Amino acid sequence: MNAPAKTVRRSPGTVLLNAPYMVWAGLFIIIPLFLVLYYALIDSDGNFTLNNLKELGNYTDVIFRSFWYSIIATVICLVVAYPFVYVVCKFGPTSKKLTNMFVTLPMWINLLIKTYCLTTLMDNNGLINQFMAFLGFGRLPLLNNTGAVIFGMVYNYLPYMILPIFNVMSRMDNSLMEAAEDLGCSPMQRLRRVVLPLSMPGVISGIIMVFIPSVSTFYISSKMGGTENSMIGDLIERQIRVQNDLSVAAAISLLLMVVILVSMFVLNRFSDDNEGGSMLV
């Protein structure tokens, strides 16, 4: 009886195993976040200041707009994705397989090019309006308004809502559905009392996965929103790329981070009552 049994328990190996990742995470995850904090609290000469945070007061419209639009986009995604998944799961196993594939497929095409194609469809003289004109109808102002930004977000992030819900719902034990029906649930009652609560983990990850990229988007809003729909992402991008003001960019990032952290915390508390972990695709 020698070494082996001991080495399992306390070997310097564990430290060695953890060291590379800890160093990496420290360098590239932790330090950058502190740098965001640091830059948010200094002025252009490197002195401590709270002015950058005060600057945020000038952007309350943008900030509220971003959260408001993202909430709407997330809700629309949910309202579309949930029945979509529910219906698809009823069609049978082949349909399930195909759904997974056909929902994933558009995600392989870069968001930039998809959004560009969307604008060629929706522009004042875009394909849809050309078609409308061809039919003799008037042209519709589809692009460069609030609706367009929200549609752009819904379009690009819908798969991120569908997939986690689908992952949960397609694996839901059919006998649970039968049990509910057996115990007297009409289809609507079954949806409310069994399917909905059981699919909550999927819904929650879906909400997170749609809300976060929506609230921080900068391409969709600037490309599809016209002049009055600027969002937080545009703001950060503009501070860095045009205003050359890293400190204000950092302050806005900090605010965004804090708000997301808080909402994640609330969501997680809310989902603690449910079984199953988070489902990131």
Partner 1 sequence: MKTLGKIFVGLVYAVLYAPLAVMVLFSFNSSDSTTIFTGFSLRWYENLFSDFSLMEVLGNTLMISVTAASIATVLGVIAAYGIYRMKSKALKNAVNTVTNIPLTNPDIITGVSLMLLFTFVAMWLGRSDILGFWTLLMAHITFNLPYVILNVLPKLYQSDRSQYEAALDLGCTPFKAFRKVTFPGIVPGILSGFIMAFTLSLDDFIISYYTNGHFSILATNLYTAVKKPIRPTYYALYTLIFLAILVLMLTVNLMQIRSEKKQAGSSKLVKTVALLVAVVMVVSVVFFAGGGKQNTLQDIRDRLEGKLEREYTTDLAGTTLYVYNWGEYISDGEDGSLDVNLAFEAVTGIKVVYDTFDSNEAMYSKLAGGGVTYDVLIPSDYMVSRLLQEGYLQTIDFSKLQNYHYIDSRYLCPEYDPTGAYSIPYAGGYLGVIYNNTMVDPADLDGTWSLMWNEKYKGQILNMDNARDAFATAMFAQGIDINTTDPADWDKAADYLMKQVPLLQTWVMDQIFAKMEGENAAIAAYYAGDYMTMVDNMEEAGGIGDHLSFYLPTEGTNIFMDAACITKDAQNYEAALLYLDFLMEPYVALQNAEYICYTCPNTAVTTNEEYSLMGNEFLYPETDVKATYYTNLDPAVIAYYEKLWDRIKSGS
Partner 2 sequence: MKNENIIELKDITVSFDGEVILDRLNLSIQDGAFVTFLGRSGCGKTTTLRIIAGFLQPDEGDVFFDGQRINDVPPYRRNVNTIFQRYALFPHLNVFENVAFGLRVKNAPKEEVTEKVKEMLKLVNLEGYEKRKVTNLSGGQQQRVAIARALINRPSVLLLDEPLSALDAKLRKDMQVELRRIQRETGITFIFVTHDQEEALSMSDVIVVMNDGKIQQIGSPVDIYNEPKNAFVADFIGESNIIDGIMNRDDTVTFAGHTFTCVDEGFAHNEPVDVVIRPEDVDVVPVGDGMITGKITQAIFKGDYYELIVEVKGFKWMVQTTDAYEEGQVIGIALDPDSIHVMHKSEYSGLYGDYSTFSDEMDAPAEEEEA
Point out which residues bind partner 2 (CB under 8 A): 173, 175-176, 178-186, 189, 193-194, 197-198, 200, 273-275
Comparing CB distances to partner 2, the nearer of 190 and 223 is: 190
Q: Smallest distance from the beta carbon of 255 to partner 1, in angstroms?
A: 10
Comparing CB distances to partner 2, the nearer of 177 and 231 is: 177
Comparing CB distances to partner 1, the nearer of 168 and 215 is: 215
Integer Cα distance of 149 and 142 in angstroms: 10
Count interface residues toward partner 1 (CB under 8 A).
106
Q: Which two tokens stand for residue 166?
A: 């689908």
Q: Which range touches partner 1 (CB under 8 A), out of 95-103, 166-174, 176-184, 194-202?
A: 95-103
Q: Does 13 bind partner 1 (CB under 8 A)?
A: yes
Which residues are CB-neighbours of 171 under 8 A, at least 6 positions away?
none
Integer Cα distance of 128 and 133 in angstroms: 9
Q: Read off the amino acid at residue 98.
A: L
Phi/psi zone of residue 19: left (φ > 0), alpha (ψ -120 to 50 degrees), beta?
Answer: alpha
Q: Smallest distance from the beta carbon of 49 to partner 1, in angstroms?
A: 15
Q: Which does residue 242 bind out of partner 2, partner 1, none, counting CB within 5 to 8 angstroms by kind?
A: partner 1
Q: Which range touches partner 1 (CB under 8 A), out of 12-20, 164-172, 177-185, 196-204?
A: 12-20
User: 161: closest CA among 98, 235, 220, 76?
Assistant: 76
Residue 180 phi/psi, 5° resolution? -60, -45
Integer Cα distance of 203 and 222 in angstroms: 29
Q: Does 226 bind partner 1 (CB under 8 A)?
A: yes
Q: Which does residue 257 bind out of partner 1, partner 2, none, counting CB within 5 to 8 angstroms by kind?
A: partner 1
Q: Does 256 bind partner 1 (CB under 8 A)?
A: yes
Contacting residue, 43, 50, 120, 137, with partner 1 by CB under 8 A: 120
Q: Does 246 bind partner 1 (CB under 8 A)?
A: yes
Q: Does 68 bind partner 1 (CB under 8 A)?
A: no
Q: If DSSP codes are grouped into helix, strand and coil, which group holds residue 108?
A: helix
Site for partner 1 in 46-65 (CB under 8 A): 58-62, 65
- Within the chain, residue ranges assigned H as helices are 4-9, 12-25, 31-40, 51-55, 60-90, 93-104, 111-122, 127-134, 146-170, 174-182, 187-190, 196-215, 219-224, 232-241, 246-271
Q: Smallest distance from the beta carbon of 225 to partner 1, in angstroms?
A: 8
User: 162: closest CA among 59, 62, 265, 84?
Assistant: 84
Q: Which does residue 97 bind out of partner 2, partner 1, none, counting CB within 5 to 8 angstroms by kind?
A: partner 1
Q: Smallest distance from the beta carbon of 189 to partner 1, in angstroms?
A: 16
Comparing CB distances to partner 2, the nearer of 46 and 184 is: 184
Comparing CB distances to partner 2, the nearer of 57 and 93 is: 93
Q: Hey, which residues does 48 pair with through a beta bridge?
A: 42
User: 137: closest CA among 125, 145, 129?
Assistant: 129
Contacting residue, 53, 260, 274, 276, with partner 1 by CB under 8 A: 260
